[in-house]
Structure 1
Amino acid sequence: MQNHLFANTKHQFYILNCVGWTGYILTTHVGAIYWDKPINYYWAIFIGGVLGFLLSFLLRPIYRKAWNFSTTKKVLTVIVTCWLLSLVWAIPDNLIFWEVYKHGYRPKHWVSYINGSVSKFYIYLCWSCLYFGIKFYQGMQEATQSALKANALAHEAQLKMLRYQLNPHFLFNTLNAISTLVLENQTERANEMVTRLSNFLRYSLDNDPMQKVTFEQEITTLKLYLGIEKVRFEERLEINFEIDSEAEKALIPSLILQPLVENSIKYAIAKSENGGCICLRAKVFARELLLELKDDGPGVEMVDGELPNGRGVGVKNTRERLSELYNDKHSFTISNIQPCGLQVSIRLPYEIAE
């Protein structure tokens, strides 16, 4: 309830205005106590304070309209408004004071009717500075929140774009393999491949790319993907997993390994008559998850430590995804291994589900 009250700018205005004027009235009464004034003096300054408080409500609609004025026009509006309102406050305030405290006294000169208007002008000027200061601060806060929200949405959109970029090459080859199996009347294998493809696509589309999954779940999904490729390559594709039990509990971005494995199949297994082996190792060391994915393909000539252009779009997407999620708290390196093959090494912070 309290948070809801202060969340509304209109409520904030009324609360702060009441608190400020209450402080002003109490301060004037403290001064009167110090000078040992009679009771009717207190009533006079109390009524005058309430009058000033009520007149201050006229400032808000004027300033709301002046908010979009130029700085010069805004300053002039504040000065003129405060001066006019101080005169409007001074005249009845003096009349009330004379009526209540001086029992009907009236001065001989008209100037006495606007006595105190200068001090009242400064009171309204301070009120105006506070109003614009608070409003400017609120505007800055809203702008900051909007910028943070925009950045968060852009970050989420970037991650989703990278996450959902399934390689068309994989889909084309899979569908082509299914078509071949159907033409060869291998309906059982074709049905198995369709089922695995359906499960894999369902998982990839249903899981939120902003959420992390356990490494054990990631391996299950990876095996689903490799099962599809196994139907295509049969004995030409050898798979070797070396996963520590502690690593299985680690949280990682969903489908972070699939593009890397796909890259190995495309450039190492598919291009070799005899196929090849893909090996995945995972372990935890010094509160970090260490991943190694390697194949025994021909390797590649690196360009400044990177894959050449046109090769490994999935690798690039994975690198960018990790960079978005972990900033500088991770490492991603690609290297050739002896006697042949390519290795991807990833280091991530070790996180587990609570």
Structure 2
Amino acid sequence: MTQDNKSGFLTRHRRWLRWVFFILVWTLLGVSFALSTYLGARQDNVQISFKRTVSGYLADFYLWGILSPLIFRLGRRFELRDHFPRNLFIHIFTSIVFSAFVISAASPLVWFFGYVNTARNPTLWILWRNNAFSPYYFHQGLTIYWTTLVVSHAIYYYRGLREGEAKTARLTAQLAQAQLQALKMQIHPHFLFNTLNSISALLHKDVEAADRMIARLGDFLRLTLKRSSAQTVDFEQELEFLRCYLDIEHIRFQDRLSVEMEIEPQTLKIIVPNLILQPIVENAVRHGIAKQTDQGRITIRARQQNDRLIMQVEDNGPGLKTNSNGSVSGIGLTNTRARLEQCYGDDFNFEIANSHGRGVTVTLDIPARDKE
């Protein structure tokens, strides 16, 4: 039987398995007490019938097993931590009543299964009287009741703890989802403001270029709206966003901007946070390309190294200042780090550094997870 088949079997028969386990537990308890009593009597050279001993204990414990769901309900309804004096009195009273009931109800069963057709055959009245006024049986009943009550409290406490943990996990996931959505939504106005400013500037210089930019902006917004609810996309879709964005910037800078992409094919199906590279590329355009008069170049690289996805965005701009510690201001890159923390915790690397020649290289190192 495969693991899936076992899981399906357990799911379909969970209720019956629970009852089998329930009966087995009470049977083992009854037999264990019977063996302990029988062996103790033999050690003291007291002759007792093993059959009567087992039948007596099984009758007791099966009756307690029947009552245990009610004890569980009473434990849930009258928890000792709530209204302690009142609920304690209720459980003391109930334990006495239940013990008396089990002693009375068990006596006919013990008499029938243990004494019928035997040489020593006391009347049912004598057997009931001996059991009913026996401190041992009464003490045993109280012990079973309170033990069952403690077990019920432990189970309900454990369930409450698990439900609390599950609720906390759900709320944490919902909060993370909301935070991710809020961070992502900050990127769109940032990008839109910059693009609209570019269109406004082009309208005074090149109407056709402004028209093409508006068309590409429409394409970009359609892609954005199409995947607005997705927190993650495969890397191929992320590149589609980037190409659309870079087309807009190429219209703006014309020959001053060239783009190179060095993408390993196996990286295209790896899952990445939606729009994770767009603010990095936008930052390279703003700080690397816009600040120079000669031709600017942006290189986008992606490779898979074992179970990691390494992405790089490099420009040939002026680079970071010599006294810079690698931090770059701006909503885009600040949100990029925050989104990476939300998605991967500490399992990522985000570096901004000067390139060996000129310009800046931004490196993202994240887990390589394929779409399931």
* TM-score normalized by the length of structure 2: 0.74
Letter in 1 for 2:96: W
Task: Specify every segment of 5 or more residues in structure 1 that has no aligned partner in the other structure, as ranges.
Answer: none
- The question of whether the paired residues in 2 share the 8 Å contact of 1:48 and 1:96 is answered with no
In structure 2, the residue matched to 1:134 is 155
Give the % identical residues. Answer: 28
CA contact (8 A) 1:98 1:105 kept: no
Please name the residue that 1:89 is paired with: 102
Secondary structure of the residue aligned to 1:256 is: coil
Question: What residue identity is the alignment partner of 1:86?
Answer: S
Write out per-residue CA displacement over residues 84-106 of structure 1, whole angstroms, 9 at most, x where no aligned residue: 42133224444765688422444
Is structure 2 residue 282 aligned with structure 1 residue 277? Answer: no
Counterpart CA distance in 1 for 2:300 and 2:344 is: 22
Given residue 113 of structure 1, which amino acid in structure 2 is its aligned partner?
A
Unaligned runs of 5+ in 2: 1-8, 40-46, 116-121
- In the alignment, the residues of structure 2 paired with residue 51 and residue 244 of structure 1 have an alpha-carbon distance, to the nearest angstrom, of 71
C-alpha distance in structure 2 between counterparts of 1:345 and 1:49, whole Å: 68
Partner of 2:331: 313
The equivalences for 1:12-51 within 5 A come to: 17-24=22-29, 37=49, 49-51=61-63
Aligned twin of 2:343: 325
Worse-superposed segment, 154-163 or 93-102: 93-102
Structure 2 CA distance for partners of 1:64 and 1:205, relative to 1, 3 Å: same
Tell me how far apart the structure 2 counterparts of residues 182 and 112 of structure 1 sit (CA, whole Å): 103
Q: 2:279 aligns with which of 237, 241, 259?
A: 259
Distance 1:243 1:111 in 2: 89
Matched, 1:162 2:183: yes
Q: Which amino acid counterpart does residue 184 of structure 2 have in structure 1?
A: R
How many angstroms apart in 1 are the aligned matches of 2:259 and 2:103? 91
Q: What is the match of residue 301 of structure 1?
A: 321
Match of residue 67 from structure 1: 79
User: Match of 1:348?
Assistant: 366
TM-aligned CA deviation for residue 228 of structure 1: 1.3
Separation in 1 of the partners of 2:261 and 2:275?
16
Q: Please state whether the residue corresponding to 2:73 is helix, strand or coil.
A: helix
What do you get for the CA RMSD once the two structures are aligned?
4.0
Which is worse superposed, 62-71 or 317-326? 62-71
Distance 1:147 1:240 in 2: 45
1:285 to partner: Cα distance: 4.4
Return the offset for 1:65. Answer: 1.4
Matches within 5 A, 1:50-129: 50-67=62-79, 69-70=81-82, 73=85, 78-94=91-107, 101=115, 102-106=122-126, 113-115=132-134, 116-129=137-150
Counterpart of 1:135, as a letter, is: Y
Q: What SS class does the counterpart of residue 164 from structure 1 fall into?
A: helix
Aligned length: 346
CA deviation profile, 1:3-60 (whole Å, cap 9, x unmatched): 3675x8xx99867654443444556777899978498988776655554444444323
- Does residue 237 of the first structure (1) align with residue 245 of the second (2)? no
Q: For the residues of structure 2 that align with 1:353 and 1:13, how far apart are their CA atoms? A: 38
Provide the rounded CA distance (Å) in 2 between the counterparts of 1:64 and 1:303: 66
Q: Displacement, 1:175?
A: 2.8
Question: Secondary structure at 1:347's aligned position in 2?
Answer: strand
Paired AA for residue 11 in structure 2: N
CA change 1:61–1:285 in 2 (3 A) is: closer
| Cα 1:81/1:171, change in 2 over 3 Å | same
Normalising by structure 1, report the TM-score.
0.77
Residues 59-101 of structure 1 deviation map (CA, whole Å, 9 limit, x = unaligned): 2332121237349556665455323421332244447656884
What is the alpha-carbon distance in structure 2 between the residues aligned to residue 54 and residue 249 of structure 1?
58
- Is this contact kept in 2: 1:301–1:307, CA < 8 A? no
After TM superposition, the structure 1 stretch with the greater mean CA deviation from structure 2, 219-228 or 126-135, is 126-135
Paired residue secondary structure (2:310): strand
**The residue matched to 2:186 in structure 1 has which SS?**
coil
**Structure 1 CA distance for aligned equivalents of residues 301 and 272 of structure 2:** 15
Counterpart residue number, 2:11: 3
